[in-house]
Every structure is written in structure tokens, then in C-alpha cells.
Amino acid sequence: MHPFPTIPRHIAIIMDGNGRWAKERGLPRREGHRAGAEAVREVLDACKELGVDYLTLYAFSSENWSRPEAEVQALMTLLDRFLREKAKDLDQKNIRLQAIGQLDRLPAKTRALLDSIIARTAGHTAMTLVLALSYGAREEIVSAARSIATEAAAGTLDPNEVDAALFASHLQTAGIPDPDLLVRTSGEMRLSNFLLWQISYAEIVIVKKNWPDFRHGDLLAAVAEYQHRHRRFGAL
């Protein structure tokens, strides 16, 4: 039997259902995104209390750029506000911030703010919050393959040396352990182009609540379900 850690080292969350939450209340979609920020605060606090090392949040996908311009602008405004408000909190709680995705597509102001907080919190050690922004797993995998092919064509890499570990080292998550637990809210049963390589052996918990209604206790319940799973990793 494989050893089973009491607490997942890395939790990844697909924060789904902001729009549905707003629609159910007759509110604009942006209000759903705004309400979701409170869920982020509670989940971050719960993870730190549990001793989770890494929390990755799917905050904005590469496909989200195709949404109406007004909604995209509202999301970027909310991201700016979240980063400004969270910077001091991350310092106080000794939490490091990192980001993955096509960050060069973010507005210059947002990117500068993000980079400044990443640098400012680089030495924090309590846990790491990873924001997936303008992120798409297929794009990440293609980029890694292109990088490896470029090195092989230049003669700096022997194609026979390419294995899973080397490939993973070319992903944006290099140095970050793969998620042990993937949580998706709103009851949807899709991966939505999120960490497709990294979640190969993650336990998946689907929660029916929309993201703005997800709270501290819901995260604890997802971890409790994870603790009752037997992770075989392909073995018996």
C-alpha cells in the first residue's frame, strides 16, 4: 500500500460558477466575480491552517480572453484590486505568490503589479499561492515541446534523454510538486484545459456549490474526502 499523506501537499482549484451565481440573483456577471474573491480569502486561510504547501487557483484561462470586452476589463480590474489588497496579507501570513500562464498578455499595469508582489514575497515560506492567469494547459505543453525541440535541433539536448522528468522541467510549473487534490466547483465534470500534465494522478473532488458560495468548511470537506481515497498510482 502506498503511504497516504494526511494533508495534500498541493491543492488545485477550478473556481467555476461565478456567472451562474450572479445570474441566479439577477446580478451582472462581474458581481459574481467580485463575490468569488471572498471565497479565495477563506480557502487561502483554510489551506494555511491545514499546512498545505501549495494552492493553485485557475483564475483566468487563455480562452477567457474571448469573453465580452467589458467582462474581461472587469476581471482585470478585480485582479488588480485583489493583488493590491492581498499584498499586505501575503506578507503578514508569510505566503509566497507565483503565477503561471501567458502573463505577457495581461495589461501592462496588471503585469507590473503582479511582478512586484511576486518579487516582494519571494522569500516567504509558510505556503505558496500560484495564480493561473491567461493559462491554458495545451499551450503550456506545446511550448514545452517546442523548447525541447529547439534544444535538440541546436545539439544541446540528446532526444534520447527526454523523459517525463525532463519534460516536466520545461513546464511553467517546474519546481512545483504536482497537485494531490483537484477541486472543481459548480458541479461541472470537466478539466477545462487546466494542468493536464500535472494532474495525471490527482484525486478529483467535484463540489456542486458555485464558487462564490464555497467556504472554509467546503475546503475541509474536500480534504476529508481526499483522505478517504486510496491512491494507487497505477498499482494494486
Q: Angle at the Cα of 80 (from 77 to 85), degrees rounded to 5?
A: 125
C-alpha cell at 131: 495564480
Q: Evaluate if residue 221 carries a pLDDT over 60.
A: yes
pLDDT value of residue 86? 87
Compute the distance between CA of residue 27 and CA of residue 217 in angstroms, rounded to an integer. Answer: 26
Amino acid at 66: S
**Residue-wise pLDDT tens digits, 100-122:** 999 999 999 999 999 999 999 99
**Residue-wise pLDDT tens digits, 2-37:** 444 589 999 999 999 988 999 999 998 888 888 998
Average pLDDT for residues 134-159, to the nearest whole number?
97
**Residue-wise pLDDT tens digits, 118-141:** 999 999 999 999 999 999 999 999
Q: Angle at the Cα of 74 (from 72 to 78), degrees rounded to 5?
A: 115
Name the strand (E) or helix (H) holding 40: helix 29-50
Strands 54-61 and 95-100, how do they pair? unpaired
Question: Sorting pLDDT into bands at 50, 70 and 90, what band is 232?
Answer: low
pLDDT value of residue 4? 46
pLDDT value of residue 19? 87
pLDDT value of residue 74? 86
Instruction: Indicate the DSSP class of residue 135.
Output: E
**Residue-wise pLDDT tens digits, 22-77:** 999 999 888 888 899 889 999 999 999 999 999 999 999 998 899 889 889 888 99
Question: Sorting pLDDT into bands at 50, 70 and 90, what band is 235?
Answer: low
Question: Sorting pLDDT into bands at 50, 70 and 90, what band is 1?
Answer: very low
pLDDT value of residue 2? 40
Which positions ≥6 away from 28 have C-beta within 8 Å? 22
Q: Please report, for residues 73, 76, 80, 93, 98, the alpha-carbon distance to residue 116 in angstroms, rounded to integers and kept in the order given.
A: 21, 16, 12, 17, 11
**Residue-wise pLDDT tens digits, 165-219:** 999 999 999 999 999 999 999 999 999 999 999 999 999 999 999 999 999 999 9
**In this structure, what is the dihedral angle of CA atoms 182, 184, 188, 194, given to the nearest 10 degrees?**
-60
pLDDT value of residue 233? 60
Compute the distance between CA of residue 158 and CA of residue 86 in angstroms, rounded to an integer. Answer: 44
Amino acid at 176: I
pLDDT value of residue 236? 54
Q: Is 10-227 CATH 3.40.1180.10? A: yes
How much is the pTM?
0.92
Name the strand (E) or helix (H) holding 83: helix 69-92
User: Which residues are known catalytic residues?
Assistant: 16, 64
